[in-house]
């Protein structure tokens, strides 16, 4: 566990309280990290099939002199931006755009860095008609065999397939008060307990905190946040994220492609393995 992130902090906060921090309206979003960490960002638009999705943006950028392909969910900073960006809930064209850009990164041998912050993929009828599930599934397949390093940072909410569509990475990092889950606590409560009011119990059962996911081997490490959360100090949080990304890229870019892919395969093959101690 990263320095500055203690067990005591987690014992004082319930998973439901961490969910509230992850969703807090003043928490930094992707565009904040973009401006504080990266330079020379050139945004690329469109999936070349239907349209440009503003909930999931991407392009080329530079971090510490290294060119990367950058992708991220962007919820926006105010109501107008929230609506324009669909509250960070991407449609199929967003995931197809992401794949198009990742293939460009592979072509030019550039690492991929993704930022996850979404409740999930957009569940509307129009998204389903255009193949939402297929678009996300295609990304899972292609990211698993992409021949360049992939680093993912969960900065707020990591929800369901919407997160996984850009989340198959060699190294996954979570901010201290971020969450990552197959379903929202409210959705889980409605399905399992038939009562959305039991969301706090569902959050506990889902094991969605950064601490839980590191312990389970899903997250590689936890990025500490300032006391009270990332919204208290954008610059300090961004520096911690930047240092983490740089360290991961320094490590991953040294690996030959065959070793990189083998380690990625082993990482995901190991998830969900049950070890009986009896």
CA angle 135, 77, 19 (to 5 degrees): 70
pLDDT at residue 3 in the model: 45
CB neighbourhood size of 65 (10 A):
6
- Distance, in Å, from the CA atom of 179 to the CA atom of 162, rounded to the nearest integer, reads 13
pLDDT at residue 79 in the model: 84
Q: Which of 175, 130, 241 is nearest to 18 (CA)?
A: 175
Could you tell me the CA-to-CA distances from 233 to 124, 151, 224, 230 in Å, in that order?
Answer: 35, 23, 12, 6
Domain boundaries, the chain: 7-266
Whole-model pTM: value is: 0.91
- Distance, in Å, from the CA atom of 201 to the CA atom of 193, rounded to the nearest integer, reads 10
The encoded tokens of residue 277 equal: 């101690």
Give domain 7-266's CATH architecture. Answer: Alpha-Beta Complex (3.90)
Residue with tokens 């992850």: 22
Strands 56-63 and 66-73: antiparallel
pLDDT at residue 1 in the model: 44
- Distance, in Å, from the CA atom of 46 to the CA atom of 10, rounded to the nearest integer, reads 41
Per-residue pLDDT of the chain (278 residues; tens, 9 = 90+): 454 454 445 457 999 999 999 999 999 999 999 999 999 999 999 999 899 999 999 999 999 999 999 999 988 888 888 888 778 888 999 999 999 999 999 999 999 999 999 988 988 999 999 989 999 999 999 999 999 999 999 999 998 888 999 999 999 999 999 999 999 899 899 998 998 889 999 999 999 999 999 999 999 999 999 998 999 999 999 999 999 999 999 999 999 999 999 999 999 998 877 777 66
The answer to whether 193 and 201 have CB atoms below 8 angstroms apart is yes
């Amino acid at each position: 566990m990263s320095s500055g992130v203690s067990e005591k902090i987690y014992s004082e906060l319930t998973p439901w309280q961490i969910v509230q921090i992850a969703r807090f309206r003043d928490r930094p979003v992707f565009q904040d990290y973009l401006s504080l960490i990266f330079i020379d960002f050139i945004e690329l638009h469109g999936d070349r099939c239907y349209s440009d999705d503003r909930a999931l943006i991407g392009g080329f950028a530079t971090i510490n002199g290294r060119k990367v392909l950058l992708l991220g969910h962007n919820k926006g900073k105010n109501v107008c931006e929230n609506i324009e960006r669909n509250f960070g809930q991407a449609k199929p064209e967003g995931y197809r755009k992401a794949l198009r850009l990742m293939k460009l990164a592979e072509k030019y041998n550039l690492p991929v860095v993704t930022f996850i912050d979404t409740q999930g993929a957009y569940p509307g009828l129009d998204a389903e008609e255009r193949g939402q599930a297929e678009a996300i599934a295609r990304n899972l397949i292609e990211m698993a065999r992409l021949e360049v390093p992939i680093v993912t940072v969960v900065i707020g909410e990591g929800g369901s397939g919407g997160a996984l569509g850009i989340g198959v990475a060699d190294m996954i990092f979570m901010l201290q008060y971020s969450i990552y889950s197959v379903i929202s606590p409210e959705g889980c409560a409605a399905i399992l307990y038939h009562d959305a009011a039991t969301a706090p119990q569902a959050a506990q059962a889902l094991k969605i905190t950064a601490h839980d996911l590191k312990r389970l081997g899903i997250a590689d490490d936890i990025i500490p946040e300032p006391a009270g959360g990332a919204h208290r100090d954008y610059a300090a949080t961004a520096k911690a994220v930047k240092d983490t990304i740089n360290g991961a890229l320094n490590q991953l870019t040294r690996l030959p492609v065959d070793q990189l892919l083998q380690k990625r395969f082993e990482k995901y093959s190991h998830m969900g393995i049950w070890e009986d101690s009896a």
